[in-house]
Structure 1
Amino acid sequence: MTATPDAERVTIAERVHALHEGMTGQLPEAALQAFGAEQTGLDARGVPGGVAAAGSVVPDVPLLDVHGDQTSLYAALAGAPAVIVLYRGAWCPYCNLALRAYQEDLVPVLAERGIGLLAISPQKPDGSLSMQEKNELTFTVLSDPGNRIAGALGVLTAPTDEVRAVQGSLGLDLRETNADGTTAVPMPTVLLTDATGRLRWLDVHPNYTTRTEVSDIITALGTLA
């Protein structure tokens, strides 16, 4: 697979804009207001204090693959540098959009450099499998029951009660989709780790409608040199 030239690459921000245009009139006004208020609050609070810094070691934690089999973070890393994407779940349209962009535009670049790509969420393994299959992802997708990685990095959050009520009205209950039965989710985060599991770069997006651009990740790969 050949990497897409920068000039031809569709940014994630552009993909989100198209998504929002397509969503016009698709959701009840009350839902749009609740989500909008949540996003405004997330923007206002920004990146939380205490987020892990470059140089710290990402802990090895038990994970589940898409078939529900036990593995671990370090087993998945296999002693190689990697880009690790923490996402909310297959139910999140922004997560689907971002992971498709990484499949199309980031995977070829990483393959050329021998760098792995992992996507990790708190959802049950069947959600991970759904994410992998519907987006035709060739990279590893894993479940982190209990959000241990997000908790260790300091990027754990949860929707407000108002948003949870709206999600419920739309048929989504995070207590059912999450492997640990909670409503906790990671802030969308991309991190780079070296071959020893040491954190070299971290990009956190408190507002889940924005994501780390492919170009930013490619630039950050220089920290692995």
Structure 2
Amino acid sequence: MSLQAKLDAFKADFEAGKPPYNVPASVIEVMHRATAELIAARAAEKALKAGDKAPSFTLNDPEGKSVSSIDLLQKGPLVISFYRGVWCPYCNMELQALEAALPSFRELGASLIAISPQTAVNSRKSVRQNHLDFPILSDPHNDVAAAFGLRFVLPDYLVDLYTNLKNDLPSFNGDDSWTLPMPGRFVIGQDGVILYAEVNPDYTRRPEPEDMLPALRKAAQASVK
């Protein structure tokens, strides 16, 4: 089953209020409103695209070790997934799909990292729960996400909803700004140029990991010339 098919199946059960979710229709309506407003604002159009130069960055892994994009790109192309956090089931399913595709990425000489605003403790939880063999880096205040054009501020009504649902982003992220990244997937060549970019303001929609393979093959061919 494809990643999107799994996401669609989960969404159908979640929005139907099936156990164990039992989510009221009013909650679903608020979530739909927030997504619709982000789409209407054309937020994704502000994100970096294929052909753009990717910003360099250094972030910490869950053990506090600094990881530099420049160092990773010296080894080969880089795959980056920006995601919301361990509390997001759609993100966890995406991480699992990326883990399944990791051997294909490595065969093409690529590194894979995930980036979220969450604290190291929650990143370790993400790695453990999803059985990941690639690092999750913490992006305080979503600053790197902002450099890629992904950061947005949650509207007040969505902050109220998350608070009522005990989804305390300030605790998850160690930051009281109530910002998140739009889910984004990027392939960066060794020259720092983005070869593939997919950003969607609808967090229930994610590209298939295999969609990045053509860009990775192109990067692999460029590295042997």
User: TM-score, with normalisation over the residues of structure 1?
Assistant: 0.86
Matched, 1:102 2:93: no
| Separation in structure 2 between the aligned mates of residue 179 and residue 222 of structure 1, nearest angstrom | 38
Matched, 1:53 2:49: yes
- CA drift at 1:206: 1.1
Matches within 5 A, 1:3-22: 10-22=1-13
- CA drift at 1:47: 4.2
List per-residue Cα deviations over 1:66-89 (Å, max 9, x = no partner).
123433333455532111101111
Aligned CA-pair RMSD:
1.9
Matched, 1:80 2:76: yes
Q: Which runs of 5+ in 1 are unaligned?
A: 1-9
| Separation in structure 1 between the aligned mates of residue 69 and residue 113 of structure 2, nearest angstrom | 9
Residue 212 of structure 2: which of 195, 210, 217 is its match?
217
Residue 160 of structure 2: which of 165, 171, 174 is its match?
165
SS at the partner of 1:147?
A: helix
Matched, 1:136 2:118: no
| Separation in structure 2 between the aligned mates of residue 21 and residue 190 of structure 1, nearest angstrom | 24
Letter in 2 for 1:32: I
CA, structure 1 residues 185+78, in 2 after alignment: closer, same or farther (shift >3 Å)?
A: farther
| Separation in structure 2 between the aligned mates of residue 42 and residue 29 of structure 1, nearest angstrom | 20
| Separation in structure 2 between the aligned mates of residue 41 and residue 50 of structure 1, nearest angstrom | 15
Letter in 2 for 1:15: K
User: TM-score, with normalisation over the residues of structure 2?
Assistant: 0.86
CA contact (8 A) 1:55 1:198 kept: yes
Identical residues among aligned pairs (%): 31
SS at the partner of 2:140?
A: coil
Alignment coverage as a number of residue pairs: 215
List per-residue Cα deviations over 1:54-105 (Å, max 9, x = no partner).
333322223111123433333455532111101111111110011111112x
Residue equivalent to 1:32: 28
List per-residue Cα deviations over 1:132-171 (Å, max 9, x = no partner).
1100011111111122221111121132211111111111
